[in-house]
Chains A and B, each alone.
Chain A
């Protein structure tokens, strides 16, 4: 793998050039086992695995984020590399927004699409130079095509050498 830290600095022009870049995308299924394990992990009440009839069970709302990032079609390392960074550079979550147009359901499959929506270089008095990159994904139910959720996030990339 190329060591991008030793390559030329990632410029503001490089940064701007990534805005609009699309993720390959993919699909994500809220399998019952996933729904149970996630709910248990986040200290919520897991949906019953023995339930029959009565319609689909609602999945924990964190599944919007799980599906969006799980099926965006690139790994975290690949996404970091789009911005000339690696996990060792210390990128961190900045902000997150989930908008749910309807609840996600256990057993449903969602198509994920999206990409880079913003990128801005900033200078903090204490933190020095850093880049804030926004990326967003839409979730559509593969069964009926309904747009069920939008997931927007930002990552902060420290630029110690900028």
Chain B
């Protein structure tokens, strides 16, 4: 990807998480010192009537969007801004897809920036999805 090739309407490559891992949620809970058991204890989920699939942490969902836009822009140092609204839950085993579209290209203090609309979807099949997180991102173009 080159900055010259980026324009309003450019669609970023889709970023897929083929199956959300319950094991990653456990590590994330430890890193966050998050005692909320719905992210790792199936017995608690069942007692709460929430089934048997742990609920992914919101920051994990956010990170997939960060991966999608920074991977496209050239690396983790490229993110300038991310604003998202949490719309729904993600469960272990679900197939996720990040889609993003450039909505603006601009210069700021010598850097060329791309503003993007972003959405994280839970795929019900390989094409249709339900948005669980949406928002905007700004990245520095190479």
Contacts and interface: CB of A to CB of B under 8 A. Distances in A.
Given A41-B28, A93-B58, A60 B81 contact: no
Contacts of A44: 63, 67, 76
Name the prevailing secondary structure of the A interface residues: mixed
A65 B32 CA distance: 10
Interface string A8-45: 00000000000000000000000000100110111110
B106 interface: no
A99 B80 contact: yes
A97 B81 contact: yes
Taking residues whose C-beta sits less than 8 angstroms from the other chain, chain B's interface range is 20 to 34
B112 interface: no
A94 interface: yes
Nearest to B83: A97
Contacts of B36: 87
Contact of A43 (B64, B77, B79, B86): B64
A94 to B, nearest CB: 7
A92 interface: yes
Contacts of B62: 62, 65, 96
B102 to A, nearest CB: 19
Interface in A92-124: 92-100, 103
Contacts of B24: 41-43
A150 B27 CA distance: 25
B75 A58 contact: yes
A42 B77 contact: no
A61 interface: yes
